[in-house]
A and B are shown apart, each in its own frame.
Chain A
Amino acid sequence: MELEGLSKAVSSGSVETRPEILEGYGAGNGGGNAAPAAVAFPQDAVEVRSVVAWANDRKVKLIPVSSGRPHAGSNPRGEGFVAVDLSRMNRVVRKERRNRVAIIEPGVTFDQLQAELSKVGLRAMTPLVPRSGKSVLAAYLDRTPTLVPRAQWDLSDPLLCTEVVMGSGELFRTGCAAGPGTLEEQWATGQAQKNPMGPSAFDFFRLVQGSRGSMGIVTWASFKCELLPRAHELLMVAAESLEPLAEVVYQVARARLGEECLLLDGNALEALTGSDGGPSYALLLGVAGFDYRPDQRVSYQRKGIERIVQGEGLRLSRSLCRTGGRRILELLSTPADVSWKDSAGSHLDVYFLTTLDRAPSLLRAMRAGAASAGFDPYSIAVYVQPQVGGRVAHLEATLMFSPDDRPAAEAAAAAAAAAAAENGAYFSRPAGGPPDIAYRDRPLLVRTLRRAKKVFDPEGVLNPDALFSREVV
């Protein structure tokens, strides 16, 4: 590949071709992906545009990467592409208490962000135990579930406005950040880039989100922040099965009580806390008070939740896996160097969306699927994350295994995913299951997505195989 033009597109020394560096963007932990021909590290949107222009000229495929340490196998990718690593663009552009908002570049990590936000009395919504070095923007761009369903009005939350370089090379801004006026001019009239809609009659950010880098490269984004609690505690409920806990979640969601709200099974809890003795299933529910009457808020919310829990014949637990609520609360959103999922050495995930009432039967189907492939169904770790105020449930099944058992585990994960799909699982993020699982029988959907991509990336330079294979239908 001719890379001279690429070197000109970015500042000097910002193109890497050393094999040992490229390796890191390829196969990783057994993901089996090809390494890129080069990695470019743009410093700003101007350089991103130059790289995209170069790629359009040369018909070279680009794959954006924001997390300094990309997940193994993040993308099904062929050969002969260039990775665009945005991790050096890592400024927190703005953080603002009054409007509860921050603007960040792609390289900003959860560790870095939280330290900055707490200074102004805010916090960011995190996925369950984000890995250290994980890009906040990449997580939000992938609709990775966060822990507080009450704060999530739309599945797209907390992502709001974006600046994005389209596959065509054009620079664009979405939501009210688009203008009229520069960001500075908008700030001067009290604006805060918090309306994600538009501009006009399309939501380009919705097409970029979930596209795995195939519609545009985001160079900054604003997102909703929540207030830092003044009082905050975790309520925990253990149960023999998922059903009564799901019932509690429904009632709590109806009453708009609580903050963090998630369900874990014993395997997940044990791996997360590093202690054994986990219950079959547990519900974790944060309650908090903020700037106004924090203790009164915690008190009435706690009472409301207790009534619901008792109504289901359950009671609150003081600790789970010999770990108290305060410690578990801390564990949930603190970035970790080593994934809790790797306690056996290695892991594979199957994840999709459903509703809470259907989660138990889907779980049974997945267990049966994994068992049919010879995997111990009761060693699967389960995480259910209610989203959008309890209307949607992210169901995540993790197969934990020792690295030697990978082939068997892969077969079991595929069988579990197939069983889930057969029973109505919705693979809204296509990487949650085996390649093409979300698109196999949907020719019109595939055609529509291809047409949409053509509008914004006419030459198809951005991560063209990110969503489905060429032969999908």
Chain B
Amino acid sequence: MTTTTGTPILRDEVYAELAGIVGEENATREPAILDTYAFQYIAEIVVGDSYMGRPGVVVLPGSAEEVQAIVRLCNREGLKYKAVSTGWGAYGAAPEDGLVQLDLRRMNRIVEIDTRNMYAVVEPYVVGTTLQAEAMKVGLNTHIVGAGANTSVLASATSVMGQGTTGVSTGFSNRNLLGFEWVMPDGELLRVGSFEDSGEWFTGDGPGPSLRGLIRGFAGAFGGLGVFTKCAVKLYPWYGPARLELRGVSPDYDLDIPENHAAYIIDFPGWEEMKDFGNMVGEAEIAFSMCHNAPAPAIASMTDSNLSFYELWKGGLFANMKHTLEVVITARDAEEFAYQEGVLRDIEKRCRGREIVSSHYDLHYFADLVLGLARGMRKAGLRTTARSALPILRFVLEALRKGRTPDAFAKTLYLALVKQNLQARGIFRFGGSFWTSMGALTSWDCCIENAKEGERIKRSWIEKGVLMDDGAENAWGGLYESGCYGHLEELAVYDQSDPVCKEGGIGFVVDTVKATIEKHLAFSLNAVGDPMHAAYSPHVFYYHRHLAGIKEEFDPGALSDATFYIDREGTEEFIRALEAGEEIDMRL
């Protein structure tokens, strides 16, 4: 028996066996529940429909042994399967119906925090905020990706990407992965790294070659290479209190910025100064966070409704203040703070940066604020400035009425960067959904080139009426590993219920992909799935052959769903089409 799309319907005996592995209460074939796994963010761009395929069954294993038993059963029965940890996007699902979905939410334990050796061992459903709260109690912190504090630490470390706003001091998820426990595609269970020999998870490399390199690179396998049931990640020192006390209710949070910590938004004359500033701050190792958020999402996260956002935005002044970088300093003591802020201000001076937001207000800041706003007004012109003045004044008065202090923006910024709690507010609320593009991990100078190119391309798609007008410049990203590399991705917001946006959105993505290839702007974060591999691989040493080699060697039956990983045949078919000069459909 098959579904309408031709995939086999799960036989009753197999369902019974799966339910036997996880317990009746942890397995379901209820259509209404299955559909919740299919209704996914960006499905409309990925497959052109609001729904991905409907899984044939959802099982909630509670241990690595249960995962192993499920994967073995899938191998025996020739069933496709896919794990999902926190389920934030279409990549947790497959385009076709019928797969065995492993929802790992029951595996939610922090197995260990090794305080001295600064790492944590987590199960799949441990999310950033939980690990962060526990780590802060012992003076440590974790890297949280820009998706937000409510996503799985393990999914990012083993299977997805890893960009986050504190990367300059907390690295990138790939680089933070130490050991891991891996239910391989055939159901064998391998613990990679130091654990088997030492009983500790302090490294994932060796003996000999590092198998970290097999399971992920810039991107992960997105569920295409078995299931990860546990992993160890690096933790980083945290020089703040054991608990960040928040006051107020969402979205109007307030907190006291800890002593010797500070948050700034710095405005620059243009992109070139931003390049210099990023490189210098990176190598000076003074920042806890150094990143860029465009004016639209920045204002969105500082206003409490779409209406108040729009009031502030429509005058146009802020769209002209796009050359900004955000910096958070978290020093251990006053002496270190004096050094770090001193260096920051030396660098600001060299790059003509002006602090337009600061939690550390002194004369320097107030002078900068005036000069920074004056620069923004000059860029915007008299008319735009005049149009913007009244709403800004109104906003300021309203804020004062609510009892906000002048450092309110800096506090919001600090929270957003330290706790990653404003992502959805900053990006989903304009049109209901967003897409991203460009975003290669590369030198900071080239990141800025990515942002410039992304803005240029996006403007044309805004003019076509496909994308929302967010000022066109909506790059997000920052530095990693003391500025060793960085990323700036170009976000695009759209109305997911509008057919024009749904249909047209992919066109914007295709343009950015072409630009990164033709203009050598490095390997975009969109390079996931067969059509994208086909676009990039011929320009990147035909990497798909080797990636496919790994997939075929370790999962010859192709049962671990590889929609967002690799299929050799699929990719090569697209390559042939591209070589024949055809346009290919980038949807999966």
- Cα of A160 to Cα of B221 in the assembled complex, Å: 21
- In the complex, the answer to whether B283 meets A100 with C-beta atoms within 8 Å is yes
A195 within 8 Å of B (CB atoms) = yes
- In the complex, the answer to whether A189 meets B343 with C-beta atoms within 8 Å is no
Interface locus among B189-197, B376-384, B400-408, B461-469: B189-197
- In the complex, the answer to whether B190 meets A201 with C-beta atoms within 8 Å is no
A390 CB contacts on chain B under 8 angstroms: 117-118
B17 CB contacts on chain A under 8 angstroms: none
B306-345 vs A, CB cutoff 8 Å, 1 = contact: the mask equals 0000000000000000000000000011011011001100
A391 CB contacts on chain B under 8 angstroms: 117-119, 202-203, 234
- In the complex, the answer to whether A200 meets B217 with C-beta atoms within 8 Å is yes
- In the complex, the answer to whether A355 meets B342 with C-beta atoms within 8 Å is no
A208 within 8 Å of B (CB atoms) = yes
A215 within 8 Å of B (CB atoms) = yes
Residue of A nearest to B239 (CB): A255
Q: A197-B218, A199-B543 are in contact. Are A255 and B209 (CB under 8 A)?
A: no
CB distance from A326 to the nearest CB of B (A): 24
- In the complex, the answer to whether B205 meets A155 with C-beta atoms within 8 Å is yes
- In the complex, the answer to whether A190 meets B443 with C-beta atoms within 8 Å is yes
- In the complex, the answer to whether B237 meets A153 with C-beta atoms within 8 Å is no
CB distance from B346 to the nearest CB of A (A): 6
Q: A208-B209, A255-B332 are in contact. Are A197 and B214 (CB under 8 A)?
A: no
- In the complex, the answer to whether B172 meets A392 with C-beta atoms within 8 Å is no
B199 within 8 Å of A (CB atoms) = yes
- Cα of A297 to Cα of B340 in the assembled complex, Å: 9
- In the complex, the answer to whether A293 meets B339 with C-beta atoms within 8 Å is yes
- Cα of A102 to Cα of B10 in the assembled complex, Å: 56
- In the complex, the answer to whether A190 meets B119 with C-beta atoms within 8 Å is no
- In the complex, the answer to whether B211 meets A448 with C-beta atoms within 8 Å is yes
- In the complex, the answer to whether A300 meets B335 with C-beta atoms within 8 Å is yes
CB distance from B289 to the nearest CB of A (A): 15
- In the complex, the answer to whether B546 meets A155 with C-beta atoms within 8 Å is no
- Cα of A100 to Cα of B546 in the assembled complex, Å: 30
A18 within 8 Å of B (CB atoms) = no
- In the complex, the answer to whether A200 meets B219 with C-beta atoms within 8 Å is yes
Complex partner residue of A179 from B339, B481, B482, B541, CB under 8 angstroms:
B541
- In the complex, the answer to whether B539 meets A180 with C-beta atoms within 8 Å is yes
Residue of A nearest to B276 (CB): A98
Complex partner residue of A189 from B211, B347, B485, B519, CB under 8 angstroms:
B519
A269-314 CB contacts (< 8 Å) to partner B: 290-293, 296-297, 300, 303-304
- In the complex, the answer to whether B213 meets A206 with C-beta atoms within 8 Å is yes
B198 CB contacts on chain A under 8 angstroms: 354, 358, 424-426
Residue of B nearest to A453 (CB): B209
- Cα of A390 to Cα of B443 in the assembled complex, Å: 27
Residue of A nearest to B177 (CB): A154
- In the complex, the answer to whether B540 meets A180 with C-beta atoms within 8 Å is yes
A433-448 CB contacts (< 8 Å) to partner B: 438-439, 442, 444-445, 448
- In the complex, the answer to whether A180 meets B517 with C-beta atoms within 8 Å is yes
Residue of B nearest to A193 (CB): B443
B100-121 vs A, CB cutoff 8 Å, 1 = contact: the mask equals 0000000000000010111100
A210 CB contacts on chain B under 8 angstroms: 205-210
- In the complex, the answer to whether B520 meets A425 with C-beta atoms within 8 Å is no
B279 within 8 Å of A (CB atoms) = yes
A118 CB contacts on chain B under 8 angstroms: none
- In the complex, the answer to whether A203 meets B546 with C-beta atoms within 8 Å is no
A142-163 vs B, CB cutoff 8 Å, 1 = contact: the mask equals 0100000000011110001000
Complex partner residue of B210 from A206, A224, A456, CB under 8 angstroms:
A206
Complex partner residue of B219 from A176, A198, A467, CB under 8 angstroms:
A198
B80-114 CB contacts (< 8 Å) to partner A: 114
- Cα of A160 to Cα of B519 in the assembled complex, Å: 23
B554 within 8 Å of A (CB atoms) = yes
Interface locus among B353-361, B428-436, B521-529, B573-581: B521-529
B213-234 CB contacts (< 8 Å) to partner A: 213-222, 234
- In the complex, the answer to whether B117 meets A356 with C-beta atoms within 8 Å is yes
Complex partner residue of A425 from B197, B211, B213, B521, CB under 8 angstroms:
B197
- In the complex, the answer to whether B521 meets A178 with C-beta atoms within 8 Å is no
- Cα of A166 to Cα of B549 in the assembled complex, Å: 13
Residue of A nearest to B194 (CB): A426
- Cα of A191 to Cα of B485 in the assembled complex, Å: 10
Residue of A nearest to B197 (CB): A426
- In the complex, the answer to whether B440 meets A190 with C-beta atoms within 8 Å is no
Complex partner residue of B116 from A185, A208, A355, A425, CB under 8 angstroms:
A355
A438 CB contacts on chain B under 8 angstroms: 197, 206-208
CB distance from B463 to the nearest CB of A (A): 26
B392 within 8 Å of A (CB atoms) = no
Complex partner residue of A293 from B221, B343, B440, B541, CB under 8 angstroms:
B343
- In the complex, the answer to whether A179 meets B546 with C-beta atoms within 8 Å is no
Residue of A nearest to B114 (CB): A355
CB distance from A66 to the nearest CB of B (A): 17
- In the complex, the answer to whether A203 meets B216 with C-beta atoms within 8 Å is yes
Complex partner residue of A197 from B174, B199, B202, B540, CB under 8 angstroms:
B174
- In the complex, the answer to whether A424 meets B523 with C-beta atoms within 8 Å is no
B521 CB contacts on chain A under 8 angstroms: 180, 189
- In the complex, the answer to whether A353 meets B546 with C-beta atoms within 8 Å is no
Residue of A nearest to B527 (CB): A200
B519 CB contacts on chain A under 8 angstroms: 189
CB distance from A238 to the nearest CB of B (A): 23
- In the complex, the answer to whether A156 meets B210 with C-beta atoms within 8 Å is yes
B424 within 8 Å of A (CB atoms) = no
- Cα of A173 to Cα of B555 in the assembled complex, Å: 25
- Cα of A122 to Cα of B336 in the assembled complex, Å: 25
B457 CB contacts on chain A under 8 angstroms: none
- In the complex, the answer to whether A448 meets B118 with C-beta atoms within 8 Å is no
A232 within 8 Å of B (CB atoms) = no
- Cα of A195 to Cα of B167 in the assembled complex, Å: 13
B200 within 8 Å of A (CB atoms) = yes
A8 within 8 Å of B (CB atoms) = no
- Cα of A415 to Cα of B10 in the assembled complex, Å: 57
B60-81 CB contacts (< 8 Å) to partner A: none
- In the complex, the answer to whether B209 meets A428 with C-beta atoms within 8 Å is no
Complex partner residue of A454 from B184, B218, B553, CB under 8 angstroms:
B553
- Cα of A180 to Cα of B527 in the assembled complex, Å: 12
- In the complex, the answer to whether A427 meets B216 with C-beta atoms within 8 Å is no
B37 within 8 Å of A (CB atoms) = no
A455 within 8 Å of B (CB atoms) = yes
A208 CB contacts on chain B under 8 angstroms: 209
- In the complex, the answer to whether B284 meets A176 with C-beta atoms within 8 Å is no
- In the complex, the answer to whether B523 meets A427 with C-beta atoms within 8 Å is no
Complex partner residue of B197 from A171, A191, A427, CB under 8 angstroms:
A427
Residue of A nearest to B178 (CB): A391
A22 within 8 Å of B (CB atoms) = no
- In the complex, the answer to whether B190 meets A448 with C-beta atoms within 8 Å is yes
B139 within 8 Å of A (CB atoms) = yes
Residue of B nearest to A163 (CB): B541
A254 within 8 Å of B (CB atoms) = yes
- Cα of A212 to Cα of B209 in the assembled complex, Å: 8
CB distance from A362 to the nearest CB of B (A): 10
A106 within 8 Å of B (CB atoms) = no
28 contacts across the A-B interface (CB closer than 8 A):
A172-B541, A172-B543, A176-B523, A180-B516, A185-B520, A191-B446, A191-B520, A192-B443, A192-B446, A195-B484, A200-B544, A201-B547, A204-B546, A210-B205, A254-B118, A256-B237, A293-B342, A296-B338, A300-B335, A388-B203, A392-B117, A392-B203, A428-B203, A428-B207, A429-B206, A438-B208, A449-B208, A455-B546
Other 16 A-B pairs with CB < 8 A, given A290-B283, A296-B339: A153-B482, A155-B210, A179-B540, A181-B520, A186-B446, A200-B523, A200-B533, A201-B220, A207-B210, A296-B338, A358-B200, A424-B199, A428-B194, A444-B190, A451-B554, A455-B553
List residues of A whose CB falls within 8 A of some B CB. Answer: 98-100, 143, 153-156, 160, 166, 171-173, 176, 178-181, 185-186, 188-192, 194-195, 197-212, 214-215, 224, 227, 250, 253-256, 290-293, 296-297, 300, 303-304, 353-358, 388-392, 421, 424-430, 438-439, 442, 444-445, 448-449, 451-452, 454-456, 466-467
The 4 A-B pairs of least Cβ separation, nearest first, read: A206-B213, A190-B445, A181-B520, A198-B218
